[in-house]
Structure 1
Amino acid sequence: MPSYSAPVDDTLFLLKDVFGYDRYADLPGFSDAPLDLVEAILREGGKFAEEVLQPLNQSGDRQGCVRNDDGTVTTPDGFRKAYQAFCENGWGTLAAHPDYGGQGLPHTLATVVNEFASSANMAFAMYPGLTAGAVAALTTHASEDLKKTFLPNMIAGTWTGTMNLTEPHCGTDLGLIRTKAVPQTDGSYRITGTKIFISAGEHDLAENIIHLVLARIEGAPEGTKGISLFVVPRNQVASDGTAGDANGVSCGSIEHKMGIHGNATCVMNFDDAAGWLVGEENKGLKAMFIMMNEARLGVAVQGLSQSEVAYQNAVTYAK
């Protein structure tokens, strides 16, 4: 069976002796994370990856995610318990803004922990990883009301996040998207359309799933200049801030993939779902690029993480 040992000592060497971590001590976040604290966090993060996440990697890929008859999705055995432990230990809060429940530590630290988690179990790590990207987009472009409504639960991991770009007829040409947004008198919008290849689009790990959705408001210009960004929760947010009634969001199917079966890549259907504008009308692509660029960095971390665990197992096999 494949194994994984988090390269904590190698990482600490890089931080101390190659990147000169101490030089950044006067920057926000770094002043609260001296090297002794960094070492403690990385050793615990590595331990969590090795002991909790890695044992679920192979079994999770073999079992995969299952779409149920009611449109819900069940993740592989052990994923829910592991995700609960992930949230309880605060691993998703490391670099998030303190105003919304984050620890405000350097993104460097969160990136290293993400690498360990991705090496141990990339399918699992994608659930909180996508949430972090959605949090970044909302933090940058959402109104204060939307931030207060969504960010605390997303940062805590009670709710997760997704990115909804691609549609069946247009692939990556976002200028051709057809998902529409109809303004309502209360300031919300009704979102209708279908998105494909939505990683972590539906699952049983969290109470709610917060979708960031690109759509076109009625009468908007053609092409990418007429795209707006909306936050669309799977479940309506109740008056007490908890997840309430269903919101016209459902998983149509799970995409067939060669691997990463422990993460549910979904066809998502939005049927007159309530959503709220993020940022300005027709400026949605710019707002979504916050999450897209974070995802690009995340893909780079995934490449590094997979090369690390592949190397470790290749050495073991060769010996």
Structure 2
Amino acid sequence: MWSYQAPLRDMQFVLEHWLDAPRAWRRSPAFEGLDLPLALQVLEEAGRFSQGVLAPLNGSGDRQGCRWTADRVSTPDGFADAYRAYVDGGWPALACAEALGGQGLPQLLDAALQEMLYASNHAWAMYTGIVHGAYLCLKTHGAPWLQERYLPDIVSGQALPTMCLTEPQAGSDVGLLRCRAAPQNDGSYHLHGNKLFISGGEHDLTGNILHLVLARLPGAPSGSRGISLFLVPKQLDTGQVNGVRCDGIEHKMGIKGSATCSLVFEGAQGWLIGEANRGLAAMFVMMNSARLHVGLQGLGHAEAAWQNAREYAAERRQMRAPLRPEGIAAQAADPISYHPAMRRVLLELRTTSEGLRAIGYWVAHLLDQAEHDPDPQARQPAEQLAQLLTPIIKAFFTEQGFRQASNALQVFGGYGYVTEFAIEQTLRDSRIAMIYEGSNEIQANDLLLRKVLGDEGRAFGLLLAQLRDEAGQGGEWVECAGFAVALGKLCGSLAAVVDDVRELSQEDSEYPYRVAGDFLQLCGVTLLALAWARAARVSRALPEDDPLRASKLQSAGFFFNYLPSRVAQHLAAIEGGRAALAFV
């Protein structure tokens, strides 16, 4: 009762019209061989893999889960075969450099691929989701010999990486970790300690697993300033099994097909990545990529929820609706999609998923521009914007993924609560994304305290400029003028909030922390407003008889009609946050 179809038509709209990505590709020597038809062919093949290979394993993987024994972890039936098909298709190498064996395609296309993987089978995609981040980390900070030895294995898919941060006493506060690394005479290190909540820490998809592990060197400073990063392979080149073992897997609420492992390092041999005691700087290259991918998980869940709720609402007949589409005769019972309450839910599902797609792909496109734009003066602003938007993508997208899955479950009524209809799995799977890779509360603090106030408004000013520019362009078209005015007002409200928070924080240092969550949500709503103001404007490039053109204008109208209540809620919460919180 659960299905998934890659939304290729809307993906094309975002690439071709919302982003005008082909024009940027033509300007960049890195993508000189890429055009829109080729990009769409890549996405079509990715959709075929996601729909035909991964989606059928989603429910069975959830029911079967992973199995642990003292010497191995087995993934659900079909997962290993799906991974071999993924490797044979060249998907791990999509956005990796051609000089390293990759295909050299934009991160924008990789973002679309990730959306499809997560929408079709979140648990399976957990094994591959960290690959690009590990590739970037090793490419940026690894010693030349480490890159030469291990990057080809990552790019080819012969080995899968993990990210080993969390310990029993060190979750959000990584500075409390105790895992230690002892230097050896041959230049390697022996690691001792425990890690938990390690996604893909052990599995049967690849023969080798490359653990990227945070640990302390002897005499290292306390806290986060004394952490180093190491590459610790499961299999050594001598053929020996390294001193790392899985001593259990977690039994979880969702993503049950993903092996979430506890790892024990018992003198495991590893090698330093980057500088000693600067492991977090190297790891953050990986984590920033991971946070974009986690945000795309939220998009994937919202899209899957929208598709399945739409199909069910069109088939389920209950009562007579007050109104029905023109030309539809009255029936004893109408599809529930005709009823106002359900129409509102379905429109929210559609506008949210399509709006998130535009913004998520924009951030991936900014990362491409930051690395490959032929104009050096354009690279830094693109990087600044991408860094500013990353915590919003991670937190707002994942919150929306869970919220929209819950809304979709409501469309199914009682059937949504039983496993046969599978929307309950989407709800369960989506919840973890709000927690891992830095909880959403931490993302909110990072956004307001570090990226906005701590940056003295430089990156935030770039975002305001983008919003004001779109508001100005939208005003040129009669049907978009109201959307542009609403966006302009929202931009003004957002700027005023930042000014107020900056002023009040001088007297009350805790105030920014109290309002950070609502500030991030306000930024997320503003980004959706940008998405829909621009979507309405650029939809004019579509033929008048194209249903997508009418759909975009309809969705924009819905969004801006229902927007004020959400904005007022967050503005009121930010104002109310002036009152100190009691201790409980």
- Superposition TM-score, scaled by structure 1 size: 0.96
How many angstroms does 1:8 deviate by? Answer: 0.7
**Residue correspondence of structure 1 range 203-218 to structure 2 within 5 A:** 203-218=203-218
* Cα distance between partner residues in 1 of 2:223 and 2:8: 47
Q: Which residue of 2 aligns with 1:295?
A: 290
- Residues 142-221 of structure 1: pairs in structure 2 closer than 5 A: 142-221=142-221
- Matched to 1:49, the amino acid is S
Equivalence for 2:310: 315
The alpha-carbon deviation at position 314 of structure 1 amounts to 0.6
Question: 265, 284, 288: which is aligned to 2:260?
Answer: 265
SS at match of 2:17: helix
Equivalent position of 1:129 in the other structure: 129
- Structure 2 contact 70–247 (Cα < 8 Å) conserved: no
Q: What residue number does 1:241 align with?
A: none
C-alpha deviation, 1:127, in angstroms: 1.1
Shift in Å, 1:29? 3.6
C-alpha change, 1:266 and 1:110, in structure 2 (3 Å) is same
Provide the rounded CA distance (Å) in 2 between the counterparts of 1:49 and 1:300: 18
Structure 1 residues 110-121: aligned runs within 5 Å: 110-121=110-121
Q: Which residue of the partner structure matches residue 224 of structure 1?
A: 224
Partner amino acid, structure 2, of 1:67: W
User: Per-residue displacement from partner, 1:172-220 (whole Å, max 9, x unpaired)?
Assistant: 2111110000000000000011011101111000010000000000111
Kindly indicate whether the alpha-carbon contact (under 8 Å) linking 1:32 and 1:105 is maintained by their aligned counterparts in 2: no
Aligned to 1:97: 97
Tell me how far apart the structure 2 counterparts of residues 170 and 211 of structure 1 sit (CA, whole Å).
18
Aligned residues: 313
Higher helix proportion, which one?
Answer: 2
Structure 1 equivalent of residue 50 of structure 2: 49
Q: What letter matches 1:303 in structure 2? A: G
Q: 1:271 & 1:212 partners in 2: Cα distance? A: 15
Q: Specify whether residues 169 and 5 from structure 1 end up closer, same or farther in structure 2 by C-alpha distance, changes over 3 A only.
A: same
CA–CA distance in structure 1, aligned partners of residues 18 and 210 of structure 2: 39
Measure the CA separation in 2 of the matches of 1:267 and 1:29.
41
- What CA distance in whole angstroms lies between the structure 2 residues aligned with 1:118 and 1:190? 36
**For 1:113 and 1:28, how far apart are their aligned partners in 2?**
23
Match in the other structure for 1:37: 38
Could you say what secondary structure the match of 2:122 adopts?
helix
Distance 1:137 1:129 in 2: 14
Rounded to whole Å, the distance in 2 between the matches of 1:279 and 1:303 is: 32
- Secondary structure of 1:221's match? coil
**How far apart are residue 28 of structure 1 and its match?**
4.6
**Residue deviations 1:277-306, cap 9 Å, x none?**
000000001100011111110110000001
The 1:180–1:28 alpha-carbon spacing in structure 2 relative to 1, beyond 3 Å, is farther
Once superposed, what is the RMSD of the aligned Cα atoms?
Answer: 0.9
Deviating more after overlay: 29-38 vs 271-280? 29-38
Any idea what the Cα deviations from partners look like across 1:86-132, whole Å, max 9, x if unmatched? 00010111101222211111010111011111111011112111122
Give, in angstroms, the shift of residue 3 of structure 1.
0.2
CA distance in 2, matches of 1:261, 1:275: 30
Kept after mapping to 2: 8 A contact 1:229/1:284:
yes
**Distance of 1:33 and 1:162 partners within structure 2:** 31
Distance in 1 between residues matched to 2:142 and 2:29, nearest whole Å: 22
Give the match for residue 70 of structure 2: 69
Alignment of 1:306 with 2:307, yes or no, is: no
In 2, the alpha carbon distance for the partners of 1:136 and 1:181 equals 23
Could you say if the C-alpha distance between residues 28 and 215 of structure 1 is closer, same or farther in structure 2, counting changes exceeding 3 Å?
A: farther
* Mapping for residues 218-257 of structure 1, pairs under 5 Å: 218-238=218-238, 244-257=239-252
CA distance in 1, matches of 2:124, 2:237: 26
Structure 2: 5+ residue runs without aligned partners?
A: 315-584
CA distance in 2, matches of 1:149, 1:252: 28
Q: Is 1:84 the equivalent of 2:79?
A: no
1:62 aligned partner, one-letter code: R
**Match for 1:159: what amino acid?**
A
Residue deviations 1:137-177 (CA, integer Å, cap 9, x gap): 11110011000111101111110000000101222211111
- In the TM superposition, what whole-angstrom CA distance separates every residue of 1:18-73 from its partner, at most 9, and x where no partner exists? 11012212225432221111011111110110000000001001101111232x10
Q: For residues 125 and 33 of structure 2, what CA distance do their matches in structure 1 show?
A: 25
Q: How many Å separate the matches in 2 of 1:33 and 1:261?
A: 38
Measure how far apart 1:245 and its partner are: 1.3
Three-state SS of the structure 1 residue aligned to 2:240 is strand
State which structure, 1 or 2, has the greater radius of gyration over its C-alpha atoms.
Answer: 2
Residue of structure 2 equivalent to 1:280 = 275
Taking the aligned partners of 2:155 and 2:248, their CA distance within structure 1 comes to 27
**Distance in 2 between the 1:59 and 1:270 partners?**
32
Q: Provide TM-score, normalisation by structure 2.
A: 0.53
Partners of 2:298 and 2:95 in 1: how far apart? 21
String of CA shifts for 1:219-242, please: whole Å, max 9, x gaps: 11111111000000011124xxxx
SS in 2 for 1:232: strand
The structure with more strand, counted as a fraction of residues: 1
Does structure 2 conserve the Cα–Cα contact (< 8 Å) formed by 1:123 and 1:262? yes
